[in-house]
């Protein structure tokens, strides 16, 4: 499973800075021309458990789950203030298309003071900017739904069929919701509705991770800031506070030098760790591990996956020929020595297809093909 986050936000909020902090890249900042191509980078999730397994097994290689960040230049440069703007943004070839392909959104909101950097709204107000961002997504989706409704109404006149009628009802339901200024990610859908929805890729339906780009002097208050701005009544929404500028500088250092600088700045965990942790919570993901002489590997899967479903992530043969999942918690495995020791001690569980995989499970699949 590859995770994709599309980065958006108001102009000069620090999107590219945060992108650099997360990806250890050096894309040019302070440049917000709409014509620029998106910055794209794939980052591995750091997970020391993989390295530990590789050590025990003498694995030839290690593999980590990956997360892709797409820093989209276009949307932020103008932003959809009304229906006309939104329609412009929807035009083919626009950056919105790139955004639609992402699985989730990372929305960067400015919370740093700097008189030399203009704020499009003239003042620093994260709560207002979050509301405005939400409205922008809602407007873009509304425009798309209105277009679809027109087409559907036309279609139903010509050839009324059940599928079109079901879709019409769904679009009406979403339109009502959006007109109440609520994002689609807060609406409940039936299984059938989800199927009808799958092709549309609505922006306000995507899980949203807000990043407050805080100034250096607010680093010490980042937890309080997160508590203040995280709306508990919101579904599929998370929020992290981090200082993009400092973290970008630290991310540019050699990995072994980073820790001491983070400590100096009073940063508990680097931006990437924080964002991945929040992303896991937001998307409902857990990690399980596999290891052999060939490869030690961490896998990101949806919470609640069965051993059978998790096998499918690895290989379809493994799923088809599933016999048993030999399972042990990582900590228990490490405490006991290695797999052979754990087996001798009777600590390896034999789990069946229906077993719900837990965070930190190390699994050895038994299967025949
Ligand atoms: N003082 C300060 N400036 C920042 C911070 N984050 C970004 N900037 C500056 O704000 C400007 C816009 O940043 P950029 O990442 O290009 O914003 P984008 O337009 O959203 O991609 C650049 O000059 C950055 O150096 C910060 O935390 N503090
Ligand atoms: Mg930028």
Q: Whose CA is nearest to atom 13 of ligand 1?
A: 14
Q: Residue 187: pLDDT band by 50, 70, 90 thresholds?
A: very high
> Which residues does 239 contact at the CB level (< 8 Å), separation at least 6?
209, 210, 211, 212, 226, 229, 230, 231, 278
Quick one: pLDDT at residue 291?
97
User: Residues 313-339: what's their mean pLDDT?
Assistant: 95
- Say if ligand 1 is within 6 A of residue 32 CB: yes
Give the mutation target among 9, 12, 33 for probing the ligand 1 site: most ligand atoms within 8 A of CB: 12
CA of 179 from ligand 2 middle (Å) equals 30
CA of 110 from ligand 1 middle (Å) equals 8
CA of 35 from ligand 2 middle (Å) equals 11
> Which residues does 348 contact at the CB level (< 8 Å), separation at least 6?
326, 327, 328, 339, 342, 364
Q: Whose CA is nearest to atom 11 of ligand 1?
A: 30
The distance from CA 54 to its chain's CA centroid, rounded to whole angstroms, is 27
Residue 103 vs residue 73, higher pLDDT = 103
pLDDT in tens, 106-152: 999 999 999 999 998 999 999 999 999 999 999 999 999 999 999 99
Residue 31 vs residue 85, higher pLDDT = 31
The answer on pLDDT for 92 being more than 50 is no
- The dihedrals phi and psi of 274, each to the nearest 5 degrees, come to -65, -45
User: Residues 236-262: what's their mean pLDDT?
Assistant: 95
Least confident range from 52-56, 96-100, 200-204: namely: 96-100
- Say if ligand 1 is within 6 A of residue 39 CB: no
- Say if ligand 1 is within 6 A of residue 118 CB: no
Distance between CA atoms of residues 111 and 1, nearest Å: 33
Distance between CA atoms of residues 110 and 123, nearest Å: 10
- Of ligand 1's atoms, which has the minimum distance to the CA of residue 71? 21
The answer on pLDDT for 90 being more than 70 is no
Quick one: pLDDT at residue 369?
84
Quick one: pLDDT at residue 150?
96
Spatial contact of 86 and 189, defined as CB atoms under 8 Å apart: no
- Per the document, the length of the chain is 369
Quick one: pLDDT at residue 310?
97
- Say if ligand 1 is within 6 A of residue 119 CB: no
Output the furthest CA–CA distance in the chain (Å, rounded).
71
Q: Residue 28: pLDDT band by 50, 70, 90 thresholds?
A: confident
- Of ligand 1's atoms, which has the minimum distance to the CA of residue 20? 15
Q: Whole-prediction pTM value?
A: 0.91
Q: Whose CA is nearest to atom 8 of ligand 1?
A: 14
């Amino acid at each position: 499973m590859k995770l994709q986050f599309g980065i958006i936000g108001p102009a000069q909020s620090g999107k590219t800075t945060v992108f650099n902090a997360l990806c250890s890249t050096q894309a040019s900042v302070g440049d917000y021309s709409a014509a620029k191509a998106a910055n794209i980078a794939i980052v591995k999730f750091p997970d020391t458990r993989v390295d530990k397994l590789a050590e025990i097994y003498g694995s030839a290689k290690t593999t980590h789950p990956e997360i892709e960040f797409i820093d989209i230049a276009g949307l932020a440069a103008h932003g959809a203030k009304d229906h006309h703007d939104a329609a412009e943004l929807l035009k083919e070839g626009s950056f919105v298309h790139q955004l639609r392909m992402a699985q989730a959104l990372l929305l960067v909101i400015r919370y740093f003071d700097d008189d030399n950097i203009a704020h499009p709204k003239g003042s620093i107000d994260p709560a207002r900017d979050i509301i405005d961002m939400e409205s922008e997504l809602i407007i873009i989706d509304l425009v798309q739904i209105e277009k679809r409704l027109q087409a559907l109404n036309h279609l139903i006149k010509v050839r009324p069929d059940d599928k079109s009628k079901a879709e019409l009802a769904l679009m009406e339901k979403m339109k009502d919701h959006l007109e109440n200024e609520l994002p689609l990610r807060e609406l409940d859908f039936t299984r059938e509705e989800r199927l009808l929805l799958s092709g549309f890729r609505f922006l306000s339906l995507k899980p949203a991770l807000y990043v407050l780009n805080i100034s250096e002097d607010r680093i010490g208050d980042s937890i309080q800031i997160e508590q203040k701005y995280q709306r508990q009544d919101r579904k599929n929404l998370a929020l992290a506070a981090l200082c993009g500028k400092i973290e970008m500088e630290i991310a540019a250092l050699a990995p072994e030098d980073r820790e001491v600088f983070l400590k100096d700045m009073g940063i508990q965990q680097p931006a990437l760790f924080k964002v991945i942790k929040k992303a896991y919570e937001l998307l409902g993901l857990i990690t399980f591990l596999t290891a052999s002489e060939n490869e030690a590997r961490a896998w990101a899967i949806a919470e609640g996956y069965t051993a059978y479903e998790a096998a499918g992530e690895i290989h379809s043969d493994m799923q088809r020929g599933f016999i048993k999942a030999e399972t042990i918690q990582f900590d228990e495995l490490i405490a006991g020595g290695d797999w052979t020791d754990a087996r001798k001690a009777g600590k390896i569980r034999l789990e069946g297809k229906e077993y719900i995989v837990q965070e930190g499970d190390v699994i050895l699949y038994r299967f025949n093909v």
